[in-house]
Structure 1
Amino acid sequence: MLKHNFSAGPCILPQEVFKKAAAAVLNFNDLSILEISHRSKDFVSVMEKAQSLALEHLGLTGKGYKALFLGGGASMQFLMVAYNLLEKKAAYLNTGTWADKAIKEAKMFGEVIEVASSKADNYNHIPKGYVIPEDVDYFHFQTNNTIFGTQMQYTPDVSVPLICDMSSDIFSRQRDFEKYDLIYAGAQKNMGPAGTTLIVVKEDILGKVSRQIPSMLDYRTHISKDSMFNTPPVFPIYVSMLTLEWLKENGGIDAIEKLNNQKAALIYNEIDRNELFNGFVKEKEDRSAMNATFVLNDSAHTAAFDAMWKEAGINGLNGHRSVGGYRASMYNALTLESVQTLVDVMQQLEKNA
């Protein structure tokens, strides 16, 4: 049976990408993609195409930005952002577990102003009405919070450099990406397998801190070496390139955003209609189109519901331990049919109750 993969990450990937990646493991110009030199012309071409496609999808080609594919995950970027950009103080919005971790790392390098936080409410909403100081080195926030299922539906209007963790909704919806000075995203949420992280940075914000930055943690080092200062994660970058190609072939961000909105509307309409379920996110305007979090109103139905969705071929629906309940992660490659399968199960549970 084909599995409907709602896992929060590593993410579902397109079947076409699986086939091409599997073929390359066996033969990529007479060698396996797993054993080719990262200095070879074949892989240099892969890296250049991945970087080019990332900038193209974001509409940032020729606008002073560089795309990097590095190791260390998005968690490494919590450190690197502050190392490279925080001279005196920075402003952070705390909307989830990973934002909280980013704040912790930044505090090692300077003063951190937490402009607002939803931590006291277990991150069940996006804070509103906060003020971003104009004398900070940058403002950092996350567009989407995988664990709790909240999403920023707007881009903050700021007069300072805007830094954003887009790990779980990168390439899923249009934004005014030129307003951002640095974007980073772990590949495993919407772009490829775990092992690489995309960083898109405007070059003119770099080189302004007085501290000495270790070579491996300096964005300028990696820009000067085209993401190959050290051996890059070859296979995750290759699969990310394939996924970015697939996105382009299927209409780019504009087309995928329409599909993602359809999927989100389908699941949230059922959560709101079905009296057996309740959404975790407090305000509908803060709901994530990528990660729908919900709970059963009566735990007596848990065993039956769990058995039903597993029988339907659904995978990865259990919620994070911080929230409990269920989490339907609907990344780009997840089909509308998969979401319909989940909705059918929810409706069948209602009929059986």
Structure 2
Amino acid sequence: MSLRRRPYNFAPGPATLPEPVLRQAAEDMLDWQGCGMGVMEMSHRGREFISIAAAAEADLRELLAVPPQFRILFMQGGGLGENAIVPMNLSRGGQVDFVVTGSWSLKSSREAQRYADVHVAASNQAERHTTVPAPASWQLRQDTRYVHLCTNETIDGVEFHALPDLAALGCDAPLVIDCSSHILSRAIDWSKVGLAFAGAQKNVGIAGLTMVVVREDLLGHAMSICPSAFNYQTVAEAGSMFNTPPTYAIYIAGLVFRWLKAQGGIAAMEARNIAKARLLYDTLDASAFYVNRVARDGRSRMNVPFFLRDESLNEAFLAGAKERGLLQLKGHKSVGGMRASIYNAMPLDGVQALVDHLNDFARRHG
């Protein structure tokens, strides 16, 4: 008897995980490598978990080619937490500039106003978050402490496929990137970045872990109101063990890192992601039945929002998708329509199954 295929989960986060990772986690649940404990039962200071965390950090550094002058921190609070933690560590209460390209960067700029003098250097709000503002148009301030960029907008489906060179724009401030929904889907040019952060629950693992990669010279500048557990220098000096870290989330992330290495690393994953995104966008563009409103040069490879031109058919489309084992395709409530999140763990077969549904539904209702 053949095993029933698992549904394809297009959720934006918490999101689908590689099946081998889930199977390994299930195998380890009661007893990790014969130690008599499951990972959730371990002391974060015991040698067993210390080895898990060290391997995860080393594999992440290898996968993303993180230079030695950057520290990798395993923290809590999620992306929304980092919207406060970053300005408390880097702004010193001064000026910070934001490029607003969607819902997440807008939230980030509003949260930072509690701790810093925020300036929106560029925005695509007039275009309803469907374009990428050209860096040459950004109005950056000379004394800004850092420039914040969300390099992939999960809700709006906008992605920066190349990082801006702030030095070429006459700005010597560090670039801070929220790369939560595309981390490990492509390489990062660390020569252009001062700090990168990402919640794990989209493309890395389960909710609870936030990864921060920060250049060492940016440590030690936290505001006095910054909690000790969120002070980057304190966390770095304690090896991410100042307080109890999200141990199980770090363990799952470590399994995902190992899976990514087995798949051929970041270059191989980027090639797959390009192929998946091309297949889905080409199908949407070829049909008069669907529309994607994001400018072609700014389309996300990870999060693909789209709309049925006849939105009275939305519920029928979602019901048909569910019957085919295609889950979590409803768009965000603030945008509407549909959204397919096709992270690293989504195989090409899953995107092909969605394409087949798109085509069949259009034929039956067009």
What is the SS of the residue equivalent to 1:222?
helix
Compared CA separation, residues 331 and 42, structure 1 to 2 (3 A)? same
Residue range with higher mean Cα deviation, 291-300 or 112-121? 112-121
1:18-48 deviations in Å (ceiling 9; x for gaps) = 0111122221121111111111101001111
- Counterpart selection for 1:309 from 287, 306, 321: 321
Match of 1:206 in 2: 219
Find the counterpart in structure 1 of residue 23 from structure 2: 19
2:14 is aligned, of 10, 13, 24, to 10
In structure 1, the partner of 2:169 is none
Q: Match for residue 343 of structure 1?
A: 355
In 2: Cα distance, 1:198 partner to 1:3 partner: 28
- TM alignment of 1:186-335, pairs within 5 A: 186-208=199-221, 211=224, 213-281=226-294, 283-335=295-347
Match of 1:69 in 2: 74
1:274 CA displacement: 1.1
Q: Structure 1 CA distance, aligned partners of 2:72 and 2:180? A: 15
Counterpart of 1:85, as a letter, is L
Q: Distance in 1 between matches of 2:312 and 2:120?
A: 40
1:198-242 deviation digits (Å, cap 9, x = unpaired): 001111112246646431221011111111111111101100011
CA distance in 1 between counterparts of 2:246 and 2:41 reads 11
Paired residue type of 1:305: F
1:31 corresponds to 2:37: yes
After TM superposition, give the deviation of residue 86 of structure 1 in Å. 0.3
Distance 2:220 2:130 in 1: 37
Deviation digits for residues 257-305 of structure 1, max 9, x if unmatched?
A: 0000000000000110011100032x11111000010000012433432
Q: Which of 43, 68, 76 is 2:49 aligned to?
A: 43
Q: Is the CA contact 2:222–2:231 (under 8 Å) kept in the aligned structure 1?
A: no
Q: Contact conserved, 2:98 with 2:109, CA < 8 A, in 1?
A: yes
Query: Per-residue displacement from partner, 1:87-143 (whole Å, max 9, x unpaired)?
Result: 220111111222112112221222111101123443222223223233211111011
Task: Tell whether the 8 Å contact from 1:82 to 1:105 is kept in structure 2 after alignment.
Answer: no
Q: Which amino acid aligns with 1:13?
A: L
The alignment partner of 1:11 has SS state of coil
Task: Between 80-89 and 208-217, report the one with greater CA deviation.
Answer: 208-217
In structure 2, distance between residues paired with 1:245 and 1:134? 42
Deviation at 1:74?
1.2
Moved over 6 A (4+): none
In structure 2, relative to structure 1, the CA distance for the partners of 1:307 and 1:110 (3 Å cut) is closer
What one-letter code is carried by the residue in structure 1 that aligns with 2:65?
A: G
Instruction: Specify the alignment match of 1:108 in structure 2.
Output: 114
Contact 1:60 1:178 in 2 (8 A): no
Q: Give the match's secondary structure for 2:235.
A: helix
Whether contact under 8 Å (2:314, 2:337) holds in the other structure is: no
1:174 equivalent to 2:187? Answer: yes
Aligned residues: 351
Consecutive unaligned residues of structure 2, counting only runs of 5 or more, are: 167-171
Q: CA deviation at 1:8?
A: 0.4
TM-score of the superposition, structure 2-length normalised?
Answer: 0.93
- Alignment correspondent of 2:140: 132
C-alpha displacement at 1:306, in angstroms?
2.1
Give the match for residue 53 of structure 1. Answer: 59
Amino acid at match of 1:16: P
CA 1:306 to 1:41, structure 2 compared with 1: closer, same or farther past 3 Å? same
